[in-house]
Structure 1
Amino acid sequence: MNILKTGARAFLTTMAVAIALPVSAHITFENKDVAPGATVKFVLRLPHGCSGAATTGVRIAIPAELTSAKPQPKPGWTLSVITDDVHKASAEETHAHGHGATIKEISWTGGKLEDAHYDEFVFRATVSKTASNRIFVPVVQECEGGVDRWIEIPSAGGVSDDLKYPAPSVRVQP
């Protein structure tokens, strides 16, 4: 009986400490590593809203190291892209007419993701054969009454953990 009380007390103490610790609230990718030349499914994890407000839009800037980007539609959200010819189009227009155009930005708008909920936004892209080190993908999270710009990129030798709004990234592994 005494062992049960000690175990329960240890469990409750551990949970109290875990709850009190700051939680990493950064936007991240599910995949941590990619290979040069590989076509990759990028799953952007959105763990929260902006300062308690619901998310109503997500915009992703596609860096030069990623080519042939192709977004995944999301039920309840409007999907649009901006191509290198600066033409803003719906995903359907791009699919039907945008052959040859390079997608520079993907956005999902019009949905509503409450702060207490978690979701993922997905696109596919090919990693450049010359990519090395890390690829940073700037993200703007639009919320009711505010915006969080996950666009900070660490300086050479710096780490994302030192930044308030780090751009999500993947490591390039040959």
Structure 2
Amino acid sequence: MAPTTRVCMALAALLVAALVAPAAGHVTINPKKAPTEGYLVFKMRLPHDCGDATVGTSNLTVTLPEGVVAVKQEQVAGWKAIHSMRAIDPPIVSGSSTYTETMDTATWVGFLPDGMYREFGLSVKLLPQKNGTVMYFKASQDCHGGFPPRNWDMIPAPGDNSRLKSPAPAVTIIEGYED
């Protein structure tokens, strides 16, 4: 095979791989799997990217999905942790607890310069979920200097495996999964 043909084939293979690769959002969550119910600590990872190497991130806001209660937000050094609550109507009984409200959004306000990353923790109780359920933790990243926020909130349609421009961090519920 001629060298030019090999180069063209290699470039074509790379292009195909890039088109079918799963989306990798700038805000990610770990672990990406969780048990069908119980307590778990998630870490939201924010690698800085505001579209300009001279601009830093000023805050991260995460919207918690349905099925998550008893949320505790990690205090991150140098960042202010704030949150908003939402009512649960009708109240949910789980074990010996009755939940009438839960955290709706968790926000950390601070500064993350270009080229750095930071992790933000959330301790949550997962209410019973069906095996295979995907929970999305939509995120919004605000940037200094008047740059527009970056929203990581796109959710694929059922069965759609195409690459999303700004995917929401996702957790798949797995029966028998233990962290």
Tell me which interval the TM-score lies in, with the shorter structure as reference length: 0.7 to 0.9
* 1:24 to partner: Cα distance: 4.5
CA distance in 1, matches of 2:158, 2:84: 29
Q: Which residue of 2 aligns with 1:165?
A: 166
Kindly indicate whether residue 124 of structure 2 is the aligned counterpart of residue 125 of structure 1: yes
Structure 1 residue 81: Cα displacement: 0.8
Instruction: String of CA shifts for 1:31-85, please: whole Å, max 9, x gaps.
Output: 0110011211010111122113211000010111211111011111111110115
Task: Name the structure where helix makes up a greater proportion of residues.
Answer: 1
The secondary structure found in structure 2 opposite 1:129 is: coil
What corresponds to 1:80 in structure 2?
82
Q: Write out aligned runs for 1:49-128 (5 A).
A: 49-52=49-52, 53-84=55-86, 101-109=101-109, 111-128=110-127
How many residues align? The count is 139
Q: 3-state SS of the aligned residue for 2:26?
A: coil
Partner amino acid for 2:169? P
Aligned to 2:75, what secondary structure does the other structure show?
A: coil
Runs of 4 or more off by more than 6 Å in structure 1?
none
Greater strand content: 2
Shift of 1:157: 0.6
CA distance in 2, matches of 1:71, 1:131: 25
Equivalent-residue separation in structure 1 for 2:47 and 2:150 (angstroms): 13
Identity of matched residues, %: 24
For residue 140 of structure 1, give the secondary structure of its aligned residue in structure 2: strand
**Matches for 1:10-21 after TM superposition, within 5 Å:** none
- What is aligned with 1:155? 157
Instruction: Specify every segment of 5 or more residues in structure 1 that has no aligned partner in the other structure, as ranges.
Output: 1-16, 86-98
Q: Provide TM-score, normalisation by structure 2.
A: 0.71
